[in-house]
Amino acid sequence: MATDLGTSPDEVQFRFREDEVADHGTVTVDACCDQTNATAVRIEPGDDARVLLPFLDRLALVEVNFPSFGDGRGYSAARILREAGYTGELRAVGDVLIDQLSHMRRCGFDAFAPDKPLDEDDAKRAFAQWDNVYQSAADGRRTIQELRHE
C-alpha cells in the first residue's frame, strides 16, 4: 500500500490532542473502503467524507488535504466526520495558512500540518481570534445566541 501518502508526525506543527500522535501511512478514501485494516485515511477535496462513516471506529487519523486554501470543501468534510461521532485525529494538511486556522479549528480539526511552517506567534493569535462565536459548529462552543439567553 502507498505508505508515502500523507504527512508524518514530524510535519504536524500544531496539535490539540493529548493522545499519542498517530503514525500510520494514510490511504486514499477508495483504498480505505476496501482495506479492513486501514487506520488512517486522506480525504481529497473531491472525496465524499460520508463514505467513511461505516469505518469510523477503526480510524485513528483522518487527513483532509487543502491543495489550495481557497477550496473550502474540507471544512464540510471535517464537520461531517465530527457530527458522525468521529473522535480520532483530524489533521488539516496542505495549503494551510494563518487566516484559516480559527475556522478550521471550529470545524473540528485538531491537528495542523501546513506545507510551509507558520509563524508561531501569528498562529497563536489566529487560534484565539474569536472570543465568542455566532454559529454552532464542531468545537462545541456555546454561541453568542445561547449566551444571551442562558
Partner 1 sequence: MYKYDSYDQAMVDARVEEFRDQAQRRLDGKLTEDQFKPLRLMNGLYLQLHAYMLRVAIPYGTLNSRQMIALGDIADKYDRGYGHFTTRQNLQYNWIKLEDAADILADLSKVEMHAIQTSGNCIRNISSDHFAGAAHDELIDPRPYAELLRQWSSFHPEFTYLPRKFKIAVIAADTDRAAMRLHDIGIQIVRNDAGEIGASFYVGGGMGRTPMIAPQIRDFVPLDQLVTYAEACLRVYNRYGRRDNKYKARIKILVHEMGAEEYTRQVEEEFAHLLEQGVEPPLAELERIKPFFADPAFEDGPKSVDRSDPDFALWVDRNTVRHKHDSYVSAVISLKPVGGIPGDATGDQMRLMAKLAKQYSFDELRVMHTQNIVLPHVRIADLHALWTELEAADLGAPNLDTIEDIIACPGLDYCALANARSITVAQRISENFAKKNRTEELGQLKLKISGCINACGHHHAGHIGILGVDKKGTENYQLSLGGSEAEDVSLAKITGPGFDEDGVVGAVETVTDVYLEQREEGERFLDTYRRIGMTPFKEALYG
Choose, by CB under 8 A, the member of 8, 54, 76, 117 that binds partner 1. 76
CA distance 24 to 116: 21
Q: Is 13 in the site for partner 1 (CB under 8 A)?
A: no
User: In whole angstroms, how close is the CB of 18 to partner 1 at the nearest point?
Assistant: 23
Q: Is 56 in the site for partner 1 (CB under 8 A)?
A: no
Close Cβ partners of 81 (under 8 Å, ≥ 6 residues apart): 49, 52, 56, 62, 90, 108
Chain position carrying cell 449566551? 147
Q: Is 53 in the site for partner 1 (CB under 8 A)?
A: no
Residue 73 cell numbers, joined: 470543501
DSSP classification of residue 141 = P
Q: Is 120 in the site for partner 1 (CB under 8 A)?
A: no
Q: Nearest-5° angle of CA 126, CA 127, CA 129?
A: 60
Close Cβ partners of 98 (under 8 Å, ≥ 6 residues apart): 118, 119, 122, 123, 126
The neighbour count for residue 142, using CB atoms within 10 Å, is: 11
Q: Is 148 in the site for partner 1 (CB under 8 A)?
A: yes
Choose, by CB under 8 A, the member of 15, 31, 45, 60 that binds partner 1. 45
Choose, by CB under 8 A, the member of 106, 111, 112, 123 that binds partner 1. 106
Nearer to partner 1, 37 or 132 (CB): 132
β strands within the chain, DSSP E: 14-15, 27-28, 40-43, 61-66, 89-94, 111-114
Contact stretch for partner 1 (CB under 8 A) within 8-16, 23-31, 74-82, 86-94: 74-82
User: In whole angstroms, how close is the CB of 31 to partner 1 at the nearest point?
Assistant: 21
- The binding site for partner 1 (CB under 8 A) comprises 45, 48, 69-73, 75-76, 79, 83, 97-100, 102-104, 106-107, 119, 122, 125, 129-137, 143-149
